[in-house]
Chains A and B, each alone.
Chain A
Amino acid sequence: MNSNPDLLTSLAGSIRSVLSPLIGNPDGVDMAMYGVGLLAVITLIFTNAVILVWGERKVAGFMQSRYGPNRLGPWGLFQSIADVLKLMSKEDYRPKLVDKWVWALAPIIMFAPAVAAYAVLPFGKDLVPVDLNIGIFYFIAVSSITTIPLLMAGWGSNNKYSLIGGMRAVAQMVSYEIPLVFSMLGAIMLVGSLKMSSIVEAQSHIWFVFLQPVAFLVYVIAATAETNRAPFDLVEGESEIVAGPLTEYSGMRWAMFFLGEYANLLAVSAIASAVFLGGWQPLPLPGALGDMMHAIPGWIWFALKTYIMIFVFMWFRWTFPRFRVDQLMGFGWKVLLPLSLANILVTGVGIFLYRVAIGG
């Protein structure tokens, strides 16, 4: 239906046509295009983090009857740029007793899986950087690496607050990984493929949020926990353990953690919109209205849905108090996991009955 290549795909096409006479070898051109994709993704992550930091503060402000940042630039838009400049100009301070290598590597390792996860995000039709046939599986595998840098930071900082935070990070992220994966399984069962593009294609008539409402709910809760955001921000738990694993970091090292966190937030929101909200598919409206919806490029739809999800996550953060660590684990294992398992069962039975009904 979206036969005309939109802005971004045609841009990619023109870059490819410029590069191919220069390089000649088709494999080389493919490699170069991956480089271009990587560059695009990194640019996206950085600009997005800047926008999200601003957005987060603005949302927080508006929900607390304040304006949020409003001094620098229109609506305070340049505030986060000023913040970045401040963070970059700060002294790179290393506390004396930290475990040098573990401590220094943690922020870098935090950032790497966040970038890697973007490889499979379906930004639009034909706009998946690498459309692996195990796309979702790859995403889950890569994003679960995020646990390790937090533990490294917690251990390497040689600080008890950091260590408690690191331990909490492992406990929380490992246990919420499972309902997160299981909630997506329902959608995957409906499609029969792990490929991102086919999951989105399968939602052209009805979004999976309507077929899998329980799974969507479980996904949103588990994703909040995965990104360590309130009400599951025990890892940082500002009022309890100061800043958790980030306590001993400052300046750019701290900013790397922050960048990784916002990159993860964008990634889980993007997956939510791809798996449950129909990805680049426009609003399924009938008649002329539907045609108008189709006229809007897919990547705009995708971005819109993703940012709505991000708003929901921010909304959670600025409304709810934090869980306690035992409640968190109890909720994950005793509520979310059975719920997602039951959802898989119901989905399976539903698919079976549907096949019987259509005589397949």
Chain B
Amino acid sequence: MQTQTYELNMGPQHPSTHGVLRIILELDGEVVVKATPVIGYLHRGIEKICEGKTYGQTIPFTDRMDYMHSMNNNLGLCQAVEKLMGLEVPERAEYIRVIMAELSRIASHMIYAGALVNDLGGVTGFVFLIRDRERILELFNKACGARMTFNYIRIGGVQQDVPEGWVEECRRFVDDFPEMMHTYNGLIMGNEIFQARMKDIAILPPDRAVAMAASGGVLRASGVNYDVRKDDPYGIYDRFDFDVPLGTKGDNWDRFIVRMQEMEQSIRIIDQALKQMPEGPVMAKVPKVIKPPVGEVYHHVENSKGDLGYYVVSDGGMKPYRWHARRPAMVNLQLLDELCRGYKIADVVAILGTLDPVLGEVDC
């Protein structure tokens, strides 16, 4: 029988494309022949905007890139500028930065896991994860007054010290986390339907992952041990004892479970940081007008999506001459076509979920 492929336009308005991603699917029945992601619906030209702002003013714009893991975005840019200026950051600020970045990573992974479960039809798992993420957002709200776009980590330190009682509340969250994880294990990871949906789907071999410049959970799920926090430690990450969870196969299940294990490792880091955190100032002596010396800097940090890099060129003025971000979600998304071919429409949603694109970052 002669059959014919057809095109299905998934998005930009679609329940599970994580924002305004459009995927042009070429389908043979339910089987994907080709998947072309079309991006740019959320393009705001952040890189160009930032060339017209002072260094301090660009930080709020990094919040709006990967809005799920904003703290780390702030951190990356601030450390890049600090590198350029040769600034020393006070100890306490470094610890607060690590705690915030790791809390933010957990929040981001919670959204990741929740959205993935929701895409597979398990709405309750999504709600549970969002409910527990609320506690992290509340911690952020107490510290800086914002729940999503923080602008908390600044060049030279953090905006202000955490309020009284914050450390205890954070400690309570750390203590409660194993129980939350237990719930997710029962409801999501232990569910046979969920496992059947995830296991052995969209296998990404390590050599392809490296060739496509994948990073973060996507890369580590394929068994490549690369974590910027370990391999090119920034800030004070070399002081903490944590493992880098690795997958073995590189299928959807590995990409999911690696991130769930990363959450546990983040909790370990927060636990150590809370114990070691010294008293002291949270802001270095930074001139009112930040004018880094002429030069360029590339600094990368481990975002929840992968290897987030900032390239900043200074011409000695108040504003950056060039401001570029290497956005991991954008790079990881390029794998979509390769991974989707030969799988079903329902798998496209799952694969997209495990690649974890945040459209704010993809389009920038």
Contact = CB atoms under 8 A, between A and B. Distances in A.
Interface of A: 60, 63-66, 160-161, 164, 230-231, 233-234, 237-242, 318-327
A231 B8 CA distance: 24
Contacts of B138: none
Contacts of B187: 319
A320 B121 contact: yes
B191 A324 contact: no
B121 A233 contact: yes
7 contacts: A64-B124, A231-B193, A234-B346, A239-B118, A321-B117, A321-B194, A322-B346
Contacts of A234: 346
B336 to A, nearest CB: 15
Contact of B120 (A318, A321, A326): A321
A63 B124 contact: yes
Nearest to A317: B123
The SS class assigned to the B binding surface is helix
Given A64-B124, A66-B127, 15 more contacts: A233-B121, A237-B346, A239-B120, A240-B348, A320-B191, A320-B193, A321-B117, A321-B125, A322-B193, A323-B193, A324-B344, A324-B347, A325-B30, A325-B344, A327-B197
A65 B125 CA distance: 11
Given A239-B118, A325-B30, A325-B344, A318 B124 contact: yes
B178 interface: no
Interface string B290-303: 00000000000000
Given A66-B127, A238-B15, A319-B122, A327 B6 contact: no
A208 to B, nearest CB: 27
Contact of B123 (A64, A323, A327): A64
B48 interface: no
Contacts of A64: 123-124, 127-128, 131
A274 to B, nearest CB: 29
A192 B348 CA distance: 49
B123 A242 contact: no
A316 to B, nearest CB: 11
B231 to A, nearest CB: 35
B33 to A, nearest CB: 14
Interface centre among A66, A321, A327 (most CB of B within 10 A): A321
B349 interface: yes
A60 B122 CA distance: 11
Given A239-B15, A242-B15, A321 B131 contact: no
A65 B121 contact: no
B119 interface: yes
A161 B8 contact: yes
A327 B122 contact: no
Contacts of B208: none
Contacts of B121: 230-231, 233, 237-239, 320-322
Contacts of A230: 121
B124 A239 contact: no
B69 to A, nearest CB: 23
B190 to A, nearest CB: 12
Nearest to A318: B124
Interface centre among A240, A322, A327 (most CB of B within 10 A): A240
